[in-house]
A and B are shown apart, each in its own frame.
Chain A
Amino acid sequence: MALPAAQCSWGLLLIFVFFMGFSCTDGASTLPHHNYCIIGAGPSGLQMAYFLQHAGRDYVVFERSHAPGSFFALYPRHRKLISINKRHTGKSNSEFNLRHDWNSLLSHDSRLLFRHYSHDFFPEADTMVRYLEDFASMMELQVQYNTAIIHVRLERDSQAWNGHYFILTDHNSQNYRCSLLLVATGTWVPNVVNFPGSEYVEGYESVSINPEDFAGQSVLILGRGNSAFETAENILGVTNFIHMVSRSRVRLSWATHYVGDLRAINNGLLDTYQLKSLDGLLEGDLEDLAIVKDKKGKLHITLKFYLENSNSSAGAESITLPQDELDNFATRAPYDRVIRCLGWKFDFSIYNRSLRLMPGKGNKKKYPLIKPSYESRGTQGLFVLGTASHSIDFRKSAGGFIHGFRYTTRAVHRLLEHRHHGVPWPSSVYPITQLTNSIIKRVNEASGLYQMFSVLGDIILLRENAAAFEYLEEYPVGILAELELHTGRKAHNGLFVVVMEYGKNFSGADKDVFYYNRAVGEAQHAWQSNFLHPVIYYYKQLPTVREMSLRPPDWPLPRPDAVHHIVEDFLTDWTAPNAHILPLRRFLENCLDTDLRSFFAESCFLFALTHQKLPPFCQQGYMRMQGLVGNKRLRQHAVEAGLLEDHTVTHFTDELLGGQRGSRDQLLKDHVIPSSPLHYLVTTKDEL
């Protein structure tokens, strides 16, 4: 009797165990859950993890490799990073120095500055891997290594933050449920072109990096980016010749001011081409290309067109080559190797169709389509970070690179803090007297504005009557219209947007960036500045979504009520009193219809006894017993400049002149009483 009972209970138990096992793998209610899931422990994934960790949020990073930064473990193949590691700037300002540190991630720990890791101006890629490992471990970031996410799908749930959860499946079929998904996978799928004979082409990802292997060979490289030139640079000295072919002309980063274009460090091939040292550059559509291998194993370039017309059954020798018809055809010499260096694209394959994660258009098709808030166009709650988010500023700013996306990642984090945790965008409130100073301080040291020029901007929200202002740093200007929604700050009284820009017509692949008088020196011509310089936009009202969408292409912002350019500076030091600060102050004064000058206590005293409304500097300083008394020497300078009246002197001459004044003077005195020698002080731009 006991046995069947025991059997029965075992059976139940088995069923229970089975059920448990089932629910562990598939049952929604007991899936491991995180508020934030980050795919990829590369620079942007770790950067976001850092901010989430710092804010005390529930998050996890999934990394398919055993260590962070797996892309850098392989790439660049020749191991030299082209991001600068400038260790000396002559300045100690840590924020300013980040402008010239392209490798560090943002953190509060100064030990995690890249300059402590490498002395090289162009560091080794291995150093980056080591740096990322240190970053993850020192910041104790929650990274789950050896976890390759192979599928992402949505699960509707009205309780979820965005009305759905993200269900991530790893290579072990383990599922994870996430409220919010942060995609930081970068672009790692090599771009390939398929054409007849493409099987003979070696890829950048696997080609030998030993120059010896290329000795005495003729090489054709497909592509014209930094990887193509880097590959050429490596073998330039040992090959017979290198030809490089791509659809578009070469774009030099010093001409385009875009760091993703060809950097000067890799451009040895341009030298040998232009000096007719056998190497060369060609333009042509790779889609039309075909490669034919002859008996000796040499590779011949022909056109797809010829292949289609010839008999496919015939041998390679019977295929028409372009030189058969055009006997001086450029690439008529046979090649020993053809190498493909065409860059990478985003891996779209792991996302379920329901996520509607679409590729961008045109030259942005290698990136997923996202909004200027970095949120996917197809799915709420899916944000794209890092290199994969470069569609926002492709070929414009630095959003595809560490020194750019470390700031956009911070911006995304701030957006999320407000959206899901009610933490408004960080801001500081200052009295209006500090307006000029605040802007000058930021344009001189802020690294986010400098690196993510025209993408991130500082926002200055004016308080009522322009008595005070609120300063928000590095907000994505593409979502300026939704500022109140995204930041929790109010913009009822007008705002300034501070961004940095290159001259509109200065940068470009075909532009001469060395022409005479390329630099503007005079403040009144500041608007014609070519090099990176601060631009301040003034809006009486927040631009609408419609105005944002109707702005001309290449304008970071729609037409403002007023705009001010601070003249470009050779040293990027915008603190000159007359060329930089004075015109800025006048602009701000004109926008706000107020007087932003500073005054000595003596002038404030005079105002206080003769005016009902005082300039803000006097009102907020002197009247609160914090006036600038100054010293004799400074006041004397002001007197000599005619900006302050020396009443002791006037007194003396008054007595000397006594009654000698003409009747005419008397007449005037009777009439125009408000005038005084301090005329320019009294008649300030506004009604005092």
Chain B
Amino acid sequence: MLPQENGWVSCFSFLLLGTYSMAAARNANTLLELSPREYFSSLQPGRASLVYFSRDDSPGVRLFLEQLENSVGALQDYGISVVKVNCLKEDVSRYCGKENALMKAYLFRDNILLREFPTDALFDVNAIVANTLFALLFNEVKYITTLVELQNLENSLKGRSNVVFAYVPAVGTPEHRAVMEAAFVYGTAHQFVLTTEAALAKDFGHEDFDALSAQLFFCHCQRVPDLTQPCRRTPMVQSLTTLNIHTYLKLMAAPIVTEVAEDPEKVSTIHLQLGLPLVFILSQQETYESDKRTAEFVAWQLLGKAGVALLSRDSIDLNVLLRSNIALKTAEEGAPIKYLVLEDTDEIVALVEDKIKGEQIPEDEDESDNNDQDIQDDQVMEAVYRDRKRELPLELIRTLTEETFNAALTETAHMVVLFYASWEAVSLAMLQLYVEVAVALKGTQGISLAKVNCWDWPDVCMKQNVTQFPITKMYEKGARSLTYTGMLGTAELLRFLRLSSISCPAKLTTIEEVDEYLTGEVHADSSSYHSTPVLGIFHPSMKEARETFVEAGNMLRGYVTTGLYAEDDALILAHKYAVPLPALLLARREDHRIDSIPLSKQSAPDVVQTIRSQLLETFPEITVENLPDYLSLEKPLLILFNDRGLNQSMRMEMLSVVNGKGREAFLACWMNLKNTPVGRGVLKAYFSTPPPLPLLAWVNRHSSGQVFSFPSDQPVTETNVLSWLEKLKAGLEIPSVHGRTGAFV
């Protein structure tokens, strides 16, 4: 009877299972109902099942069964079958229990009972799935209650595996389920840790911790090379849903920085696939290491928000500005890659975050663009504008008009006139300097200052050939006017005005006068304004050369004092200074030396050029005012930067370099940062971290735009400098800066 019956039953159960499978395919939420025997005989190896042994049909049971039925599909996805065993049919199982016993559900794997749940804990689908998976993933998800446990776990995993740490306020919540579902997938990749202890989560170091909301952190323990270092932690900012956690874990698992060497248009990473932007750090061989560090730094900042890739410019031909250092690719289809020049990592982070926010309010960006256009970026204009309310003390300066102009010129020996336009910024800046000059010249005989506003009197200005502003002219009674062509500075203009009132060249008639002239006793009052008087000496018969010199002297008037000696005994001077006539004598005040230069057959402009170049110093201190004179030599500069005056020994070493071999090829000079603070700006542009001062640098502005710095560990001595220069010449030194990243743009 029995075997027969058994046969029938198994046959029946087979049929039933078949039907069930088909039914499950049609409707996953159909709860399978079996008798105890049927159930136990249907258990398959490795397969887990959640079973409820039902004996009565109370309303509470019905409610639970509804929830159980609803979770059939969800658990099915994880290979867990859900079964209701009807104890009434055949009371054979001990699980059927007693009538008044606590309602429980059981989780079996194979035929081993893993866990029994009070049905209260399985209050809804989330709770059923969460608890079921929690029980099944007992090894994959560690439940802890103290921070020490967590730290121990982290320590044990350093260098091996990452930790996903989740806090849920209670088990059975949707967040709990999401974490468990994630753990089901990633449980073998990362160590999952779960706690419901609010105190632990709070200690974990989340400032604005909210005990009611679940949290998830990714602890990057795998990449910790040194056990003494903590694991970096990245909090997940999105809410804990299954999808969000999946995305988050994918991003965490991606390489922190992707290195690419192909067209960024073609690059695609997990970030782009997940709809996040990708930031390219444009790199090149020379700066690879620091670029990589920057990229990693940025990547950590942007982890979970955007991807970071290091793009090597050397390997591809990018058709973008050399200065661009960042590119931004958005997931948006067909959106162009933006190339930008950003100067620090905050800007990159801000860029990405603004990008995310900016997408919501694009109008704002336009507004700010417009506002940007309104902001004055002309330093002179803005400075003058900010000073507009100040009244200049103009009482020392006459204001000329069309009516008074011509008469005014005849009133004093020297009339200085500033032609300007009252609406023009540089003119107004000049007017301020002019007032300062007027104050300095107050009481000086034979020179008076005036101004003409060309906006009021265009005809006067046109007649004086003033077509641009500002122009300063000096009118000498009965002579042609002299236009000032120097720097627009108080000292410079003052010097010009003082010097130009001296007639040039001064005619000397005795050898004694010549000596006095060369020692600077002739123009004692204005000697402070000129350092090197230039004397032309001629034989009386050299009429032509003399006239040329007079013409040159006139051209240099206001800038260089010149003297002329053309007496019969000029040969005595020629012998004394060992130079054939005609010749120039330069009395260099700074080193009490008198240089003699023979004058060959030259035109006046040539003589001017000769004098000008002779007046340039061999080892000058470079200042804002004199740099252009020296740059006009178009030679590489060997600049010694110092924050004070040069000491004697250093000066001597440099002078030896200056006077040594190969000196023609460059200009040696020095810069006192106390006198020329902007030199610090220059250093800042040359070097990321300015080396200690004094600093010797080779600056080749004219050809390569490269800057080399003399090794700071060597003392600046002639031999060291010369051998360094040799190495430079041989191309053995690496420039501190050049090209895109360098000082010369």
Contact surface of A with B, Cβ cutoff 8 Å: 91-95, 428, 430-431, 434, 437, 440-441, 444-445, 523-524, 575, 577-578, 581-583, 585-586, 597-603, 605-606, 608-612, 622-631, 633-635, 637-638, 640-641, 643-648, 650-651, 664, 666-676, 678-683, 687-688
CB distance from B693 to the nearest CB of A (A): 11
* B421: chain A residues within 8 A (beta carbon): 437, 441
Determine whether B386 belongs to the interface, using a CB cutoff of 8 Å to chain A: yes
Contact A609–B378 (Cβ < 8 Å): no
* A600: chain B residues within 8 A (beta carbon): 379-380, 383
Contact B745–A647 (Cβ < 8 Å): no
Determine whether B143 belongs to the interface, using a CB cutoff of 8 Å to chain A: no
The 9 closest A-B CB pairs, nearest first, are A629-B489, A675-B343, A575-B423, A670-B290, A643-B379, A647-B677, A637-B383, A598-B380, A638-B379
A93-B456, A610-B745, A683-B323 in contact; A634/B383 too (CB < 8 A)? yes
A671 to B342, CA, bound (A): 11
Contact A609–B627 (Cβ < 8 Å): yes
Choose among B384, B673, B685, B686 the residue that contacts A634 (Cβ–Cβ < 8 A): B384
Contact B744–A610 (Cβ < 8 Å): yes
Determine whether B136 belongs to the interface, using a CB cutoff of 8 Å to chain A: no
* A434: chain B residues within 8 A (beta carbon): 468
Contact B487–A612 (Cβ < 8 Å): no
* A673: chain B residues within 8 A (beta carbon): 685, 688, 737, 741-743
20 more contacts with CB within 8 A, not counting A93-B456, A631-B433, A670-B688, are A92-B457, A430-B467, A597-B378, A597-B380, A610-B744, A612-B745, A623-B632, A625-B486, A626-B485, A626-B487, A628-B380, A629-B433, A629-B489, A630-B429, A646-B677, A650-B680, A673-B742, A675-B344, A679-B343, A683-B341
Contact A641–B628 (Cβ < 8 Å): no
Determine whether B551 belongs to the interface, using a CB cutoff of 8 Å to chain A: no
A288 to B385, CA, bound (A): 66
Determine whether B436 belongs to the interface, using a CB cutoff of 8 Å to chain A: yes
* B743: chain A residues within 8 A (beta carbon): 609-610, 673-674
Residue of A nearest to B623 (CB): A605
The count of chain B contact residues (Cβ–Cβ below 8 Å) is 88
Interface string of B678-699 (1 = CB under 8 A from A): 1111101110110000000001
* A631: chain B residues within 8 A (beta carbon): 432-433, 436, 490
* B429: chain A residues within 8 A (beta carbon): 628, 630, 634
A441 to B684, CA, bound (A): 40
A444-B423, A647-B677 in contact; A641/B379 too (CB < 8 A)? yes
CB distance from A100 to the nearest CB of B (A): 16
CB distance from A629 to the nearest CB of B (A): 3
* B459: chain A residues within 8 A (beta carbon): 94
Residue of A nearest to B703 (CB): A612
Interface string of B483-513 (1 = CB under 8 A from A): 0011111111000000000000000000000
CB distance from A468 to the nearest CB of B (A): 12
* A599: chain B residues within 8 A (beta carbon): 379-380
Contact A625–B487 (Cβ < 8 Å): yes
Residue of B nearest to A441 (CB): B421
CB distance from A377 to the nearest CB of B (A): 38
Taking CB atoms and an 8 Å cut-off, the chain B residues in 369-396 that contact chain A are: 370, 373-374, 376-387
Determine whether B297 belongs to the interface, using a CB cutoff of 8 Å to chain A: yes
A524-B370, A625-B487, A625-B629 in contact; A598/B378 too (CB < 8 A)? yes
Interface string of B595-632 (1 = CB under 8 A from A): 00000000000000000000000000000110111011
Contact B455–A601 (Cβ < 8 Å): no
Determine whether B294 belongs to the interface, using a CB cutoff of 8 Å to chain A: yes
CB distance from A580 to the nearest CB of B (A): 9
6 residue pairs bridging A and B, Cβ less than 8 Å apart: A524-B374, A575-B423, A609-B701, A623-B628, A625-B487, A669-B688
Determine whether B401 belongs to the interface, using a CB cutoff of 8 Å to chain A: yes
Determine whether B515 belongs to the interface, using a CB cutoff of 8 Å to chain A: no
Contact A608–B631 (Cβ < 8 Å): yes
CB distance from A205 to the nearest CB of B (A): 42
A667 to B345, CA, bound (A): 9
* A91: chain B residues within 8 A (beta carbon): 456
A434 to B382, CA, bound (A): 18
A95 to B459, CA, bound (A): 9
Contact B380–A638 (Cβ < 8 Å): yes
* A682: chain B residues within 8 A (beta carbon): 685, 745
* B325: chain A residues within 8 A (beta carbon): 671-672
Contact B383–A630 (Cβ < 8 Å): yes
Residue of A nearest to B384 (CB): A634
Determine whether B458 belongs to the interface, using a CB cutoff of 8 Å to chain A: yes
Contact A94–B379 (Cβ < 8 Å): no
Contact A623–B681 (Cβ < 8 Å): no
A574 to B685, CA, bound (A): 39
Taking CB atoms and an 8 Å cut-off, the chain B residues in 658-681 that contact chain A are: 673, 676-681
Choose among B293, B383, B632 the residue that contacts A670 (Cβ–Cβ < 8 A): B293
Contact A601–B624 (Cβ < 8 Å): yes
* A597: chain B residues within 8 A (beta carbon): 377-381
* A628: chain B residues within 8 A (beta carbon): 380, 426, 429-430, 487-489
Contact A647–B458 (Cβ < 8 Å): no
A634-B384, A667-B290 in contact; A440/B423 too (CB < 8 A)? yes
Contact B380–A94 (Cβ < 8 Å): no
Among B676, B682, B742, max chain A CB count under 10 A is at B682
* A606: chain B residues within 8 A (beta carbon): 678, 681-682, 685
Determine whether B214 belongs to the interface, using a CB cutoff of 8 Å to chain A: no
Determine whether B425 belongs to the interface, using a CB cutoff of 8 Å to chain A: yes
Residue of B nearest to A627 (CB): B487
Determine whether B424 belongs to the interface, using a CB cutoff of 8 Å to chain A: yes
* B488: chain A residues within 8 A (beta carbon): 601, 626-630
Contact B370–A672 (Cβ < 8 Å): no
Contact B627–A603 (Cβ < 8 Å): no
Determine whether B705 belongs to the interface, using a CB cutoff of 8 Å to chain A: yes
Determine whether B538 belongs to the interface, using a CB cutoff of 8 Å to chain A: no
Residue of B nearest to A646 (CB): B677
A598-B378, A676-B685 in contact; A637/B386 too (CB < 8 A)? yes
A599 to B192, CA, bound (A): 62
Interface string of B411-450 (1 = CB under 8 A from A): 0000000000101111001101100100000000000000
A577-B381, A640-B386, A667-B297 in contact; A612/B701 too (CB < 8 A)? yes
Choose among B387, B467, B486, B744 the residue that contacts A626 (Cβ–Cβ < 8 A): B486
* B370: chain A residues within 8 A (beta carbon): 524
